Amino acid sequence: MSLSLGSDSSVSSPDAVEWRFSQAFGDKLPGESIQDADLITALEFDKNGDHLAVGDRGGRVVIFKRDGVNSDWETFLSGDDLRINLWNLEVSNQCFNIIDLKPTNMEDLIEVITAAEFHPFHCNLLAYSSSRGFVRLVDMRQSALCDHNARIFKDEDSQPKSFFTEIIASITDMKFANDGRHILSRDYMNLKLWDMNMDAGPVATFRVHDNLRPKLCDLYNNDAIFDKFECCLAKDRLSFATGSYSNHLRIFSYENGSNDGVTIEASRNTNTKPQIQTTSRPRRSSLSNLARGFYRPGHDSNNLGSTDFSYDFNSKLLNLAWHPTNDLIACATGGTLFMYHA
């Protein structure tokens, strides 16, 4: 595994934070192909920011980490498409089912769980998102089974409805802000910031790659529309990051009053322009097979034109994490881990 160090490559954001390339781990050699088992699928900093856990498709983890640890340091979450379970760190053979979306008849299933997280300091609160584009906030003190006692945050999008509306509304990731008041969610097209005191709609929407909207039919046909992009937040302010195609890292700030963000290409050479990808990739199921089945009754026959976009849909930045104490973002694309600092 190679290590590349950067020096002067930098990008300035609207609020004067300057992001610089820091390091890249796992660069492939010229002519070397990436093995499927080497593709990075998850990464996260520990609480102190001293370690970074990285996992790949081959099942290897650099540092083990429990997902969803509560602020009480006694309980944590696990889940799948239909259920969320609560575990105690001291009891390894028993868990409590607190969210259950599985209907009696699976033909009645209308949504699946896509992400879940505890509140950063209220151990009785947790939020989870779904494929319908909802964020639900539940209080575990109200009921043993929490799926019927939830505040629902949803966005009544003013965009014209189409066959793809429900697909692109599916939330792929969700995070609490460290202030305990805001929630950040990522769907296919947008980052949305929610205020827990205002459930009528998001307080801000950040367009990640809205210029792809006319190409949704093509993105559906090659399965790109089902890609799961993650999001992350800075510790001490409402700044956040997410990924896009052509290995683009998008960084936004709510506090500067602008919805415009910074775009950085995850590469040792930040001046490299994204290449247009014309070859199609093999079909695959990016959501669970169950969720994937919701949206396969047929294809939209609209002709969306032949406008070219400078995106490489085989190069996508899905996984990323923001350091808990410093302005350092780790992001993964393919088998390479990139680090950017401000």
Segment 268-305, tens digit of pLDDT: 765 444 333 333 343 333 333 333 334 433 333 233 33
Query: What pLDDT shows up at residue 182?
Result: 95
Grade residue 320 by pLDDT with cuts at 50, 70 and 90.
Answer: very high
Evaluate whether 202 touches 192 at the Cβ level (below 8 Å): yes
**Closest to 250 in 3D by CA, of 200, 211, 202, 196:** 211
pLDDT at 4 over 50: no
| 147 or 283, greater pLDDT | 147
Query: What pLDDT shows up at residue 89?
Result: 77
pLDDT at 64 over 70: no
Size (the chain), residues? 342
Grade residue 219 by pLDDT with cuts at 50, 70 and 90.
Answer: very high
Grade residue 264 by pLDDT with cuts at 50, 70 and 90.
Answer: very high
Query: What pLDDT shows up at residue 167?
Result: 94
Query: Which residue reads 């996508």 in tokens?
Result: 316
Q: Where are the beta strands (DSSP E) in 294-341?
A: 319-322, 328-333, 336-341
Query: What pLDDT shows up at residue 274?
Result: 38
Taking the CA atoms of residue 322, residue 325, residue 328 and residue 330 in that order, the dihedral angle to the nearest 10 degrees is -40
Q: Is 297 exposed, middle or buried (0-12, 13-18, 19+ CB in 10 A)?
A: exposed
Q: What is the mean pLDDT of the chain?
A: 78
**Closest to 287 in 3D by CA, of 195, 225, 241, 197:** 225
pLDDT at 341 over 80: yes
Evaluate whether 82 touches 100 at the Cβ level (below 8 Å): yes
* Separation CA 11–CA 81 (nearest Å): 38
Amino acid, res. 233: L
List the single range of 43-47, 99-103, 110-114, 326-330 with lowest mean pLDDT: 43-47
| 179 or 273, greater pLDDT | 179
**What percentage of residues in the chain have a pLDDT greater than 70?**
74
Query: What pLDDT shows up at residue 42?
Result: 81
List the single range of 13-22, 73-82, 301-310, 316-325 with lowest mean pLDDT: 301-310
* DSSP character at residue 245: B
- Read off the pLDDT of residues 189-217 as tens digits, 9 standing for 90 and up: 999 999 999 988 999 999 999 999 999 99
Rounded to whole angstroms, what are the CA distances from 298 to 63, 110, 160, 164? 43, 17, 20, 11
Query: What pLDDT shows up at residue 55?
Result: 79
Torsion sign (Cα): 122, 128, 134, 136:
negative
Query: What pLDDT shows up at residue 309?
Result: 55
Rounded to whole angstroms, what are the CA distances from 200 to 54, 163, 225? 37, 24, 27
